[in-house]
Amino acid sequence: MRGTARRLLELSIPFTGRIALSMLLGALTVAAGIGLLSTSAYLIARAALHPSIAELQVAIVGVRFFGITRGVFRYLERLQTHDTAFRLLARLRVWFYEHLEPLAPARLLTQRSGDLFSRIVADIETLQHFFLRVIVPPGVAIAMISAVTYFMSRFDIWLSVQLLFFLLFAGLAIPLLTNRMAKPFGEREVELRSELNTALVDGIQGNADILAFEQGPSHLDLVFNLTTDIAGTKEGNAWIAGLSIGLVGLTTNLAVLATMLRAIPLVQFGMLEGYLLAVVVIATIASFEAVAPLPDSFQHLETNLTAARRLFEIVDVPPAVADSESHKPLPESTQIHTLKLTFCYADDLPPVLREIDFDLAPGRILAVTGPSGSGKSSIAHLLLRFWDYSEGQILLGGTDLRSLKLEELRSLFSVISQDTYLFHGSIRDNLLLAKPDAGDAEIFAALEQAQLLAFVHALPHSLDTPIGERGLMLSGGERQRLAITRALLRDAPIWIADEPTANLDPLTEREVMRSLKSLMRKRTSLLLTHRLIELEDVDEILVLQEGRIVERGDHNHLLKAQGLYYRMWSHQRQADGMEIA
C-alpha cells in the first residue's frame, strides 16, 4: 500500500503549490468557522452581563468578519481543490496513455477491452477522491489541531491536552478503524466494477452473437448478479460510513463533556471568567470540523489504492519493442529487403515466419498470399515494429529497421487494414486523424483519387455528415475507400494493405482493388491478401504456407506451376461461381 500511495504522491509533485494552496484555504475555512462560533458564543454570553455596547464592538465586528470570510474561504477552497483534482486527473490520463501507447498491440492482446476501458475511465476517475479527500484533509487537520490546541492552552493547559486527545482519536483512531473495516469492500468494489464494465462492453460488441446463440438471458443474469454484488459492497460501505459518523459524533460529545468537567471548576475557583465557559465549549465542538472528513477519506483509501494498482499493473509492463537509442536519420530510399526473416510470437510457440526473403523496390507492388494463419499479417507487424523478429534482418534503404526511432520509422507507413477503425464522428473528423491540418481542398482531392468524392457530395452535410460508431452508417466499400482516403492524406511513401477487401461483395471488391492498385503503383507497396483477385499485374507474388515461402513469381507463372496458388485460385473462382479458364 505504501508503495502505491508513494507513486501517486510522486505524480502530484508538479501540483505541490496548488495542493498547498488548497490546504491553506481549507485551514482558513475551518479557522473562520471556529472563529465564528467562538466569537458568537462570547458575544451572547458577554451580552447577558449587560456591558456597554463599546465593549461588544470588537465581537460584533468579529462575527460579521468570520461569517463573511468563512463563506468566501469555503467557496475558494472548493474551487481550488476541484480545479487541482481535475488538473491532476488530466495529467494522470495523459501519463497513462503515454505509458499505454508503447504497449500496443503486443502487450495489450491479453487485456479484455472492457477491463482496459474500465482502467482508463473508471479507475482514473476514482483517483480524484485520492487527491481531493486523502491528500488535502490530513494537511488541514494537522494545521487546525495545532492551532486549536494552542488556542485552548491560552485558557488552561489541561483543556488543551484533553482536546488534543479527542481530536487525535477522531482524526486517527477512527479513520484507521474504518479503513480496516472498509478494505475488503473497497477492493471488491473495484474488481466488480471492472467485471461489470467488461461484461457490458462484451455484451454490446458481441450482441449479435449472444442473440444468435440464445445467450441473452444468461448474459443478463451475469450483469444483474454483478450489479447486485456492487450494490452489496456499497451497502457495506454505507454502514461503515454511518458508524464512523456516529463515532465522530460520540467523540465530539465526550470531548465537550470533558471540557465542561474541566472548565466548570475553573470558573468556580475564579481561574476562568464565566462567560468564557461558552467559548471553550463551542470552540471544542467547532474544532471537530477539521477532523470530521478523515474517516471518509480513510474509508475510500483502499478503493483509490486498488484503482491505482490496476493502473500500475499496466504501465509497469515492459514494451515488447524497445525504441532505438541511436539517432540515425531516415534513409532516403524506401526499398525494403528481408533476409532469412524468422519470427515467433512467444518463446514457447512455433515460428510463424521461417527464413522469409524478398526485395521490394519503390514503385513496385509485392503481394503476399496464402491460407489464413500462414503469417501474412506478421510481416506487416514486423515492418511496423509492433513486434521484433528473432532471427534474420529487415533493411529499409540499406538501414537495419531496429536502428531507427519508432516514431520516425512509422511515419513512413500508411496501413489499410481489413478492419479500419472509424470513430463516431463526421467524415471530416475521421479523415483529419491522418493529417490534422488538411484543408477542404486537400481532402476533396484525396476523396477524388479514392473515387469517393461523388458519394460525399451527395450526402446531406458533405464532410460533416456523421458516420456512426465504427462507420456503421457506411457500406463496406465506402468504409474501405474512406480508409484509402486516409492513406492518401497521410501521403506516406510506403503502403501496406492488409486484407483490404475483406467482407466485401465480389463487385465492390474488384472496384476497391482496382482503385487501390493504381494508387499503390506510386509508392513502395505491400499487399497482404488471401483473396486472389486483381493480382494479374502485381510485380511479384509470394505464397506462404505455415510461415514459409512455398512459391513465388507473377500470376501467370504461378498458375502454370499448378501448385498451392493455383489450387487457391481455382477454389475461389468456383466459390464465386466463375469458370476456370
Q: Grid coordinates representing 567?
A: 489450387
Q: CB within 8 A of 359, min separation 6: which ones?
A: 335, 336, 337, 338
Q: Do the strands 336-343 and 391-396 form a parallel or antiparallel pair, or are they unpaired?
A: antiparallel
What is the C-alpha to C-alpha distance for residues 74 and 60, in angstroms, rounded to an integer? 21
Task: Say if residues 84 and 22 touch (Cβ distance below 8 Å).
Answer: yes
Burial class (CB within 10 angstroms; exposed 0-12, middle 13-18, buried 19+) of 119: buried
List per-residue pLDDT tens for the chain, 581 residues long: 567 888 888 888 888 889 899 999 999 999 998 889 888 888 888 887 777 777 778 888 888 998 999 999 999 999 998 898 888 888 888 888 888 888 877 777 777 777 777 788 778 888 877 877 788 888 889 998 999 899 888 888 998 999 899 999 998 999 888 888 888 887 788 888 888 888 887 887 778 788 888 888 888 888 899 889 888 888 888 898 899 899 999 999 999 999 888 888 888 887 878 788 888 888 889 899 889 888 888 877 878 888 888 888 888 888 888 887 777 888 888 889 989 888 888 777 888 888 889 898 888 889 888 888 888 888 888 888 888 887 888 998 888 888 888 888 888 888 888 777 888 888 888 888 888 888 888 888 888 888 888 888 888 888 888 888 777 788 777 888 888 888 888 888 898 888 887 766 777 777 777 877 777 888 888 988 888 887 888 888 888 888 888 888 888 888 888 888 888 888 877 766 655 55
**pTM for the whole thing?**
0.76
- Read off the amino acid at residue 441: A
What is the C-alpha to C-alpha distance for residues 295 and 511, in angstroms, rounded to an integer? 67
Domains in the chain: ranges and CATH: 2-315 (1.20.1560.10)
Task: Say if residues 254 and 166 touch (Cβ distance below 8 Å).
Answer: yes
Number of H helices and number of E strands within the chain?
23, 10
